[in-house]
Copies of this chain bind each other. A is one copy, B any other.
Amino acid sequence: MAAQYVVGIDVGGQTTKIGVVDARGDILAQTVIRTDTYSEVEKYIAEVGEAVRKVISEAGVEGNVRGIGVGAPNANYYTGNIENAVNLKWSGNKTIEFSKLLSTEMGGLPVALTNDANAAAVGEMTYGAAKGMKNFIMITLGTGVGSGIVIGGKVVYGHDGFAGELGHVAAVRNNGRTCNCGKTGCLETYASAIGVARTAREWLELSDEPSLLRNVDNISSKDVYEAAKEGDALALRIFEFTGRMLGQCFADFVAFSAPEAIVLFGGLARSKEFLTQPILDSMNKNLLAIWKNKVKLIYSSLKESDAAILGASALAWEL
């Protein structure tokens, strides 16, 4: 009988989440280890291996694991390497043969690796809101804006393994905001959690309009959300603006791959009560007639605390 369980590993800058998952997307056992206390990858991998063996044993599925899926920053699906991940202490500006190292540590168990947004897309397709969909685009609205594109039931990796950087398309072509990537006007500078806070700070400077946000130090997107919930006019307009930026870009994405749906995930997606309508309005306004009011906008149905492990684990079903 084919092995019926998979392991999902989400490698973050500070912590690494590890879990054993069954075919229905239930996490049978899970654990968390530190990522940032290791400066040498060998020691980190040994610790990951230890933790994987522990959760497999806890779940009681020894010998019944098909493989390991890993979501990590700067991960290349084709090579299995993590390249120049500056937020991972043991990677820095080196290339880490992550899949190979982990597979060796696990006695040859196959390992698949991709970035977190692609992992989220596979997770949504395997267990979540995109179940059964063959063509959709996953947009993660977190600190940054990430994306995982699915066409014909497969994640798009492109020629080099790095396809799907939709946070860095031009939302604004001239005089746009400076992005961490070195360009200007990237969607991420407007439509991420940081982008929303940036809009708030900019707009508060531009007028004397009263707003609950004037009382907040070091504004975050969560503050803007809470002010919007109180009916704060400025906060509501910030979400309208954010939704418009997203919707405009989504229309261009639809012209590319004609997806059935765009699936939103991440901290900022929790503000869906304020984002959905502006996104839909601006997307439909910018779509060709053949697509107007036809492309669904949906939200991840995975529990946020589980999503990272589930997304990564889903990769392993294809091993």
Q: Does A248 contact B (CB under 8 A)?
A: yes
A252 at the B interface (CB under 8 A): yes
Cα distance A165–B164 in the bound complex, in angstroms = 18
> Is the Cβ of A259 less than 8 Å from the Cβ of B158?
yes
State whether the Cβ of A203 lies closer than 8 Å to any Cβ in chain B.
no
Question: Which residues of the partner chain B approach A252 to less than 8 Å between Cβ atoms?
Answer: 169-170, 252
Q: Copy number of this protein in the oligomer? A: 2
Contact present for A253 and B255 (CB under 8 Å):
no
Known: A152-B154, A173-B173, A256-B253. A289 touches B159 (CB 8 A): no
Establish whether residues A258 and B170, one from each chain, have CB atoms under 8 Å apart when the complex forms. no
Q: Chain A contact residues (Cβ within 8 angstroms of B): what range? A: 35 or more
Known A-B contacts A173-B173, A253-B256, A256-B256; the reply to A156 vs B166 at CB < 8 A is: no
State whether B170 touches A248 (Cβ < 8 A).
yes
The interface residues of chain A, by DSSP majority, are classed as loop
Q: When chains A and B are docked, how far (Å) is the Cα of A160 from the Cα of B288?
A: 13
In the complex, whether A216 has a CB less than 8 A from a CB of chain B is no
- Flag A153-184 by CB within 8 Å of B: 1 or 0 each: 01011111111111011101100000001110
A95-139 interface bits toward B, Cβ cutoff 8 Å, 1 = contact, 0 = none: 000000000000000000000000000000000000000110000
Query: Are the C-beta atoms of A134 and B149 separated by less than 8 Å?
Result: no
Residues of B within 8 A of A166 (CB): 255-256
Contacts of A253 in B (CB 8 A): 256
**A260 close to B (CB within 8 Å):** yes
A162 near B258: Cβ-Cβ < 8 Å: yes
Bound complex: CA of A154 vs CA of B278, how far in Å?
34
State the A residues within 8 Å of B (CB): 134-135, 149, 151-152, 154, 156-166, 168-170, 172-173, 181-183, 248, 251-253, 255-260, 286, 288-291, 294
Cross-chain pairs A/B with CB under 8 angstroms, 14 sampled: A134-B159, A149-B256, A151-B158, A157-B258, A158-B259, A159-B260, A160-B291, A164-B257, A165-B255, A170-B252, A183-B288, A252-B252, A253-B256, A256-B257
